[in-house]
Amino acid sequence: MYFRRWLRLGRPQIVVDVRKVAALREQGRSWPAIAKQLGVGVGTAYRAYQELSKIPKAESLSRNPDSLLVAAD
């Protein structure tokens, strides 16, 4: 069964707009409210927000900080 080599296994990755997560969080929204508004899981929204803080400022200017690939809940 050589054809399985090309199959992608696991959960699909979700693209989350981290700027929206950060903006909603700064407005004081709860994690469940942010997740519901963006259509993702609570853990996915939280993880995207945490990944934003890990990106160094100089690197964030060179790559697109608008969205990150985050593993689904």
3-59 pLDDT per residue, tens: 567 777 788 888 888 989 999 999 999 999 999 999 999 999 999 999 887 766 545
Token pair in block for residue 4: 């399985």
pLDDT on residue 53: 76
pLDDT on residue 62: 47
Predicted confidence (pLDDT) at residue 69 exceeds the cutoff of 70: no
Contact of 40 with 66, CB cutoff 8 Å: no
Q: Partners of 69 in the beta sheet?
A: 15
pTM beyond 0.75, yes or no = no
The angle, 0 to 180 degrees and rounded to 10, between the axes of the packed helices 18-26 and 31-38 is 140
Distance, CA of 71 to CA of 73 (rounded, Å): 7
Top pLDDT among 34 and 71 is at: 34
